[in-house]
Amino acid sequence: MLDARVPDGPLETKWEHHKFDMKLVNPANKRRFQIIVVGTGLAGASAAATLGELGYRVKAFTYLDSPRRAHSISAQGGINAAKNYHSDGDSIFRLFYDTVKGGDYRSREANVYRLAEVSNNIIDQCVAQGVPFAREYGGLLDNRSFGGAQVSRTFYARGQTGQQLLLGAYQALARQVKAGTVELHTGIEMLDVVVVDGKAVGIIVRDLATGEISRHSAHAVVLGTGGYANAYYLSTNAMSCNVTAAWRAHRKGALFANPSFTQIHPTAIPSSDEFQSKLTLMSESLRNDGRIWVPKDPDESRGPADIPEDDRDYYLERRYPSFGNLAPRDISSRAAKVVVDEGRGVGPLKNGVYLDFAEAIERLGRDAIDEKYGNLFEMYERITGEDPYQVPMRIYPAPHYTMGGLWVDYHLQTTIPGLFAIGEANFSDHGANRLGASALMQGLADGYFVLPYTIGDYLAPQLGSPPVDTSASEFDQAEAEVRGQIDRFLATNGTRSVDWFHRELGRILWDNCGMARNRSGLEKALSEIPALREEFEKDVRVLGSADTLNSSLEKAGRVADFFELAELMCKDALVREESCGGHFREEHQTEDGEALRDDDDFAHVSAWEWSGNASAPTEHREVLEFEYVELSQRSYK
């Protein structure tokens, strides 16, 4: 049984007391500690900057060419906080409650409460940094509402909230680089964690431009390396997002929690051909005014405008009369899958559903729609060549976010002492389904306000001992493994590209471990994935050399890890004999097709241990106890 080290006492005071109880490193001693932060997305950059401000010596790593870039930059919608600036009844408790419920009761109460508690500090901090949040005419901060909440608590900066928050964190980081507390390593990919005497003491990295491999040691290692939705090949994530950092930590002993909890976002642009490289998200806010429908008849051949009302099926409005087009993400996604599987999909590949603004345009006028969604309409037209003022948009669900990740305790420490995981890389506070605008909040909560405190508790007792020497045999061994893998890829000289294998793997995962899962599909995937992996090892073609920029070589390592992760995702989905949030097992549904949880047997986190064999992981459990929120069936009818 896993111990999450949740402090005692009432929910409201746990964090405050815990901060008091934790061991401290005094300011003068902080510079005697070296900390490695891998990843400079929202979580990593905010952590590295804050640790630097506190006086620690920090090395920050990103494989991108600058910390101003990271997947976080794509977030459009906004960030939640319990400010209650609009006096609409919001509170820390309500944000906590909504998040636990939205996650379908599969998250840890104490962590979620802390997240809600620090959410307000995040907004204060970001405003002070100069993040240009949207304002009302009086000059105060504006808010909007988002799915799964009945209050207006989402702060935003046009359609570029993630960009502005990331730039804020990046600038705070740049300030520490100038101050000399943070040493920045860009274009550098971490390829292994080094563990000595059971503790994380360093990493092995590769310079992507020169191929140089080097070793770095520290008193603690923090991973803020993002999520793994790219395991599906097509997703809304940036092209380079991958699981390598987290996976290699997993192989060194860190447990990986709830890998099958993935979020499929309902409104992305459907793919247009097999060479599609990624899926583009259309903001969820469109569902406020757009109506979703498909033709009733699978053989319908008329264009959307010529299909009369009677021949249309507004299936969300039909199935969920009270929430209608605003039903939560997981529910809307599955409903789209049902109609497309029935052959009623629209578009040349029959792989989408209509999101129709005709009625809203008539009711509110074109100008009003343009003001609200102009930039999104333009983006849609740019990609599809179709004008959504004239023809309905076509949308389809797409892999978007991963709730699963490295298991962490209340301190955000993994099961390897000294190794911490923050942001989307950890298994997070979102349970089985994340609510909109909560990932940015969590990344910044972890990085600005949680980790910088909890890491001190781990470091304090080590005062006086220098970091492990990088000539230790554990470093030799880790480096040899990294070099060995690179040499193997270059020597294989097979016939198929890395992308080919990634696409095939993605297809297996999407078909069997996507929006709906069942035993026979998962078992099929569990036999297909290792077979394809074997083929990958024998037949992949990676050209060029290891001593210049070589993106095929980079991808090969990442895809190798996706192969192992994919198996674990299917395994996790198979043993979780219930439906909850994004995890929908067809065997476990109510009469009218809704997710059926099993709280007696599955109110736990599954945390998997690497056994040396990707096909035979060992399951551990953290039992979830709910003291403050009452478990109930979610209903959006």
Ligand X SMILES: Cc1cc2nc3c(=O)[nH]c(=O)nc-3n(C[C@H](O)[C@H](O)[C@H](O)COP(=O)(O)OP(=O)(O)OC[C@H]3O[C@@H](n4cnc5c(N)ncnc54)[C@H](O)[C@@H]3O)c2cc1C
What residues are annotated to the active site? Answer: 329
DSSP 105: T
Tell which one of 18, 30, 57, 69 touches another protein (CB under 8 A): 69
Binding region for another protein (CB under 8 A) out of 118-126, 390-398, 507-515, 565-573: 118-126
Return the residues of window 58-77 that contact ligand X according to CB under 6 A: 61-64, 70-72, 74-77
**184 near another protein, rule: CB under 8 A:** yes
CB of 45 to another protein, least distance (A): 12
Tell which one of 36, 100, 165, 172 touches another protein (CB under 8 A): 172
In this structure, what token pair is assigned to residue 375? 């930039």
Tell which one of 126, 437, 486, 569 touches ligand X (CB under 6 A): 437
In this structure, what token pair is assigned to residue 601? 């047997």
**259 near ligand X, rule: CB under 6 A:** no
Task: Answer yes or no: are the C-beta atoms of 356 and 377 closer than 8 Å.
Answer: no
CB of 403 to another protein, least distance (A): 22
Tell which one of 233, 401, 458, 489 touches ligand X (CB under 6 A): 401
Return the residues of window 184-203 that contact ligand X according to CB under 6 A: 189-190
152 binds, among ligand X, another protein, none (CB under 5 to 8 A by kind): none
Tell which one of 1, 197, 309, 382 touches another protein (CB under 8 A): 382
Return the residues of window 272-311 that contact ligand X according to CB under 6 A: 281
Nearer to ligand X, 236 or 579 (CB): 236
What is d(CA 205, CA 190) in angstroms, rounded to the nearest whole number?
4
Counting beta carbons within 10 angstroms of the beta carbon of residue 633, is it exposed (0 to 12), middle (13 to 18) or buried (19 or more)?
A: exposed
**464 near another protein, rule: CB under 8 A:** no
**615 near another protein, rule: CB under 8 A:** no
Pairing of β 154-155 and β 34-38: unpaired
Task: Answer yes or no: are the C-beta atoms of 421 and 532 closer than 8 Å.
Answer: no
Tell which one of 17, 158, 318, 519 touches another protein (CB under 8 A): 158
Q: Which long-range contacts (CB under 8 A, 24 or more apart) does 82-87 make?
A: 82/116, 82/119, 82/120, 82/153, 83/120, 83/123, 83/141, 83/143, 83/153, 83/155, 84/151, 84/153, 85/140, 85/141, 85/143, 86/143, 86/151, 86/152
CB of 68 to ligand X, least distance (A): 10
**100 near another protein, rule: CB under 8 A:** no
Q: Which residues of 542-562 are buried (b: 16+ CB within 10 A; e: fewer)?
A: beeebeeebebbbbbbbbbbb
DSSP 294: E
CB of 272 to another protein, least distance (A): 5
Beta-bridge mates of residue 37: 60, 222
Nearer to ligand X, 25 or 445 (CB): 445
**39 near ligand X, rule: CB under 6 A:** yes
**538 near another protein, rule: CB under 8 A:** no
CB of 400 to ligand X, least distance (A): 6
CB of 54 to another protein, least distance (A): 8
What is d(CA 58, CA 43) in angstroms, rounded to the nearest whole number?
15
CB of 44 to ligand X, least distance (A): 5
**224 near ligand X, rule: CB under 6 A:** yes
| Contact pattern for another protein over residues 325 through 364, marking x by CB under 8 A | ----------------------------------------
Going from the C-alpha of 450 to that of each of 49, 122, 415, 447, 506, the distances in angstroms are: 13, 11, 18, 6, 35
Return the residues of window 552-611 that contact another protein according to CB under 8 A: 552
Nearer to ligand X, 241 or 361 (CB): 241
CB of 141 to another protein, least distance (A): 6
Tell which one of 214, 322, 551, 633 touches another protein (CB under 8 A): 551
Binding region for another protein (CB under 8 A) out of 93-101, 152-160, 525-533, 616-624: 152-160
Over the Cα atoms of the chain, what is R_g? 24
Residue keyed to tokens 């510079």: 31
Closest CA to 315 of 344, 281, 289, 347: 344
Counting beta carbons within 10 angstroms of the beta carbon of residue 95, is it exposed (0 to 12), middle (13 to 18) or buried (19 or more)?
A: buried
**277 near another protein, rule: CB under 8 A:** yes
Give me the sheet containing 34-38, strands edge to edge: 182-186, 57-62, 34-38, 220-223, 419-421
Return the residues of window 476-535 that contact another protein according to CB under 8 A: 497, 499-500
CA angle (370, 371, 372) in 5-degree steps:
90
CA dihedral 495, 499, 505, 508 (to 10 degrees): -100
Return the residues of window 534-553 that contact ligand X according to CB under 6 A: none
Length of the chain: 637
Q: Enumerate residues 6+ apart whose C-beta is below 8 A from 217.
A: 34, 194, 201, 202, 467, 468, 469, 470, 475
DSSP sequence for 130-166: T----B-TTSSBP-B--TT-SS--EE--TT-HHHHHH
Residue keyed to tokens 């507390």: 181
558 binds, among another protein, ligand X, none (CB under 5 to 8 A by kind): none
Binding region for ligand X (CB under 6 A) out of 326-334, 351-359, 413-421, 423-431: 423-431
CB of 459 to another protein, least distance (A): 18
Positions that interact with ligand X (CB under 6 A): 38-44, 61-64, 70-72, 74-79, 161-162, 189-190, 224-227, 236-237, 241, 244-245, 281, 400-401, 423-425, 437-440, 443
